[in-house]
A and B are shown apart, each in its own frame.
Chain A
Amino acid sequence: MKKYEKVIEKLILISAMIATISVALITVFIFQSGISVIADYGVINFIFGTEWSPGSGIYGIFPLIAGTLSVTLGSLIIGIPTGIACAIFLSEILPKKFSKYFKSAIELLAGIPSVVYGFFGLVVLVPAIRTYIVPIFQKFNPNVAPTGFSILAGAIILAIMILPTIVSISENAIAAVPIEYKEASLALGANKRETILKIIIPAAKSGIISSIILGMGRAIGETMAVLLITGNMAKVPSSILDPVATLTGTIAMEMSYAPPSHQKALFAVGIVLFVIIMLLNVIAQLSVKGLGGKRN
């Protein structure tokens, strides 16, 4: 038996190394290809420049950063409460025999290809926003963008896309809270609502926050779905109905045609995306620590 175990151990080691080496190689490659543009163009000009017109050699990616952050933030605002509420409902309120059907339905959401989400957004959501939501906004501000291709459309689609991540991880975390906590709380006379809000959610906090971090990662990196429905207009948005271009969408859209200098600029966009994701991860992990939770 021991021999096999050693072989298996080596195999696992190789797998772990492949994962690590891939990350290292990708990092080196992206930085190598893009850093020269940032260096030539100037970090400040590159990140805070408000004009992105690669045809004329002007690479200011602030509109793209604003686009990515606004769409991601929107999706979190919609997705987090929905996802956590759904997880609580599934694990605490709904009887077990029904909840498993709901759970598999939600997990099925994760299996739908993102381009299908995008197409759904393009055909259903964008026209719906144009017909129902734009007129409401127009009453307050007649100059609002009337197309429906918007931050809102992107945020709603992304919220649906991150739901399975948030729901399934949060649900696991809530289910893992020891039954004694709940029993003790109920025995002390707390009702069900108080038990859920004050005992179960705080106890499952670290799992719930991990689910949010993972969901956020997916939302920032999502490309195809967002590309189809946010309009890809590289302008700093002023309302949630404005079209925006995202970092990932711009890379995907322009990479295939781009001449060398433009291509390097797109790699530089990749570097910025990389740094943003790293920063958000660090902030998220620190905030977990600050909240007293543990992240595994």
Chain B
Amino acid sequence: MKKILVICLICIFTFTIMSGCDNSKNTQNDIEKNVVIVGSTSVQPLSESLAEAFMKKNRNISIVIKGGGSAQGVKAIQQKNADLGALSREVKDEESSYITEEFIIASDGVAVITHSSNNVDNMSIDQIKKIYTGEIKNWKEVGGNDAPIIVVTREMGSGTRASFSEITGILTKNNSGEEVDETTKSALIQNSTEAVKKAVAETPNSIGYISLGSLGDSVKALRIEGKEPSRENVIDGEYKISRPFIYIAGNEISSESQKFIQYILSEDGQHLVEEMGFIPVI
């Protein structure tokens, strides 16, 4: 008898698990309107939590968020494949022709950090670029002790790495116009903000970069061109390594998209922006 019982239980378990797979599809029938957002992977986590909060309040609108990078976001708007494009950088001049509206939803600074014992406080963007491309290899070249610089970077494809290399000029264009990341091959790679922070905190003479929201006492943040990496300086545009998070739209903007943007720019939405560690825009 026991055996039959066990077998029955196993069958019941299997069926409940399998039937669970189908349930998720049923709920989608009620949803009529889709908003598709394509673009930056840096904005993606913010978009996702904003969308989640928004969809809780507006059950008839479904927001679909796809990554791909800022360039992909612009392309999607150009080809009308998406309602909104997400960018973690400014819109370039050559792109502005098919973008009718830009909504800055948040901004974010990238802090350059070193080990807490480091005696260098200030650096220029050019010095940072030279360190990350391997041209400057010793701290004494930037006014520090005679010690080799240990460069810590993020993995290829990270949004933070993309905007950091873009702003500092590590990303250059080669002869055929393709973008090339010139980060030195001798850089340690850590695959998250926390891992970079930990590695820099533990390794004397190291340098790394993380999102401003993740700064802590364990590491020392450098001044860039004399400016502290602070919320105020990012908002004023004084701190150079910062980036806006932008949604862009083409000619036609649906009422659902507008509703979502209204929500983001509302007090609730901006509160969520701040909770995620980014800088609210209003």
Contact = CB atoms under 8 A, between A and B. Distances in A.
Interface of A: 4, 7-8, 11, 53-56, 122-123, 126-127, 130, 146-149, 227-228, 231-235, 243, 245, 252-254, 256-259, 262
The 8 closest A-B pairs by CB, nearest first: A257-B157, A232-B189, A253-B191, A231-B188, A253-B155, A55-B181, A55-B156, A147-B150
B188 A11 contact: no
Interface string B54-76: 00000000000001110000000
Nearest to A131: B204
B157 A123 contact: no
B203 A253 contact: no
B189 A245 contact: yes
Nearest to A143: B148
Interface of B: 3-4, 7, 10, 41, 67-69, 148, 150, 155-159, 178, 180-181, 185-191, 195, 198-199, 202-203, 205-206
B199 A146 contact: no
Given A11-B7, A147-B150, A127 B188 contact: no
Given A146-B148, A235-B186, A54 B3 contact: no
B194 to A, nearest CB: 10
A213 B145 CA distance: 48
Contacts of A258: 157
B185 A233 contact: yes
Contacts of B155: 232, 253-254, 257
A55 B191 CA distance: 16
B199 A122 contact: yes
A243 B158 CA distance: 20
Given A55-B156, A55-B181, A257-B155, 10 more contacts: A4-B7, A7-B7, A56-B178, A126-B202, A126-B203, A147-B203, A233-B187, A235-B186, A254-B157, A256-B157
B158 A257 contact: yes
Interface centre among A8, A130, A147, A245 (most CB of B within 10 A): A147
Nearest to B158: A257
Given A233-B189, A235-B185, A146 B4 contact: no
Contacts of A235: 185-186
Contacts of A243: 188
A149 to B, nearest CB: 6
A259 B69 contact: yes
B185 A56 contact: no
Given A55-B180, A146-B148, A259-B68, A123 B191 contact: no
Q: Is the interface of B mostly helix, strand, loop or mixed?
A: mixed
B152 to A, nearest CB: 9
14 contacts: A4-B4, A7-B7, A54-B157, A55-B180, A56-B178, A56-B181, A130-B203, A146-B148, A147-B150, A147-B203, A149-B199, A149-B203, A253-B155, A262-B156
Contacts of A130: 203
Contacts of A123: 198, 202
B82 to A, nearest CB: 17
A253 B69 contact: no
A245 B67 CA distance: 26
B186 A233 contact: yes
A257 B202 CA distance: 27
Contacts of B4: 4
Contacts of A55: 156-157, 180-181
Given A227-B191, A233-B185, A233-B186, A254 B156 contact: yes
A4 B3 contact: yes
A25 to B, nearest CB: 17
B119 to A, nearest CB: 18
Contacts of B188: 147, 149, 231-233, 243
A125 to B, nearest CB: 11
B244 to A, nearest CB: 21
Centre residue among B150, B156, B185, B199 by max chain A CB count within 10 A:
B156
Contacts of A232: 155, 188-191
Nearest to B205: A146
A259 B148 CA distance: 34
A122 B181 contact: no
Contacts of B10: 11
Nearest to B69: A259
A238 B41 CA distance: 36
Nearest to B6: A8
Contacts of B202: 122-123, 126-127
Nearest to B71: A259
Contacts of B67: 257
B182 to A, nearest CB: 10
A258 B148 CA distance: 32
Contacts of A146: 148, 150, 205
